Amino acid sequence: MKEFLLLFRRDVTPEETQPSPEQMQAMMKPWQDWMGSIAAQNKLASSGNRLGSEGKVVKPKNIVTNGPYVEMKEAIGGYILVKAETLDEAAELAKNCPILNDGGNVEIRMVVAM
């Protein structure tokens, strides 16, 4: 079995407000059902993490900039690791990812051991 990184990207608009706990729970359900489904197939390697909206970029010569900003196109929102034999099999798992119903996409990359 190989491991693959599933990277979630989505456009974020600045006017989006912080969801209420109820909204949050309703948002989590499809994600939990999707990850539960992958885990039930024994193909989840790590339930990964969501990423905060603030970030900084460090560049050469001590230059630190804020961003990338959340209103950026296709901001990375989180990731999980799955187990699969091939890239196609990993892509198959990604087809049911809830981010696809929200205008986002999933990037799949094989993890190469160092």
| Residues in touch with another protein (CB under 8 A) | 29, 32-33, 35-37, 39-42, 44, 47
Q: Which amino acid belongs to residue 70?
A: V
Closest CB 1 distance from another protein, rounded Å: 13
Closest CB 38 distance from another protein, rounded Å: 9
Q: Residue 12 or 80: which CB sits closer to another protein?
A: 80
Q: Residue 34 or 51: which CB sits closer to another protein?
A: 34
Q: Residue 32 or 65: which CB sits closer to another protein?
A: 32
Q: How far is CA 77 from CA 55, 68, 97, in A?
A: 12, 12, 13
The strand ranges marked E within the chain are 2-10, 44-50, 56-59, 63-66, 75-84, 105-110
Burial of 90 (0-12, 13-18, 19+ CB in 10 A): buried
Closest CB 104 distance from another protein, rounded Å: 21
